């Protein structure tokens, strides 16, 4: 659980850094990279927490 939170946090930090580089340099490439990192981080995070929820539901039933 700690490792998943750490990885998700680091990926979100990487996306923020990419957005900052996009603003600083004016290059659209950094914004695209930031959006891709953000998209896949959110998908992975939702999948991870979805598995946790399903695991708890299985214990209750």
Is 4 a residue whose pLDDT tops 90? no
pLDDT score at 46: 94
Boundaries of domain holding 25: 2-60
pLDDT by residue (tens digit) across 18-53? 999 999 999 999 999 999 999 999 999 999 999 999
pLDDT score at 1: 80
Q: Give the total number of structural domains in the chain.
A: 1
15 exposed, middle or buried (CB, 10 Å; 0-12, 13-18, 19+)? buried
In terms of pTM, does the model score above 0.75? yes
Quickly list H helices, 1-61. 2-25, 28-60
The structure tokens listed for 45 are: 């995070």
The structure tokens listed for 27 are: 């290059």
| C-alpha count within 13 angstroms, C-beta hemisphere, residue 32 | 3
Which residue is it, tokens 């946090």?
Answer: 9
């Amino acid at each position: 659980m700690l490792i998943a939170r750490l990885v998700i946090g680091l990926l979100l930090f990487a996306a923020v850094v990419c957005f900052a580089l996009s603003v600083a340099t004016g290059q659209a490439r950094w914004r695209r990279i930031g959006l891709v990192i953000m998209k896949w981080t959110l998908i992975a995070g939702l999948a991870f927490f979805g598995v946790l929820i399903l695991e708890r539901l299985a214990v209750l039933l």
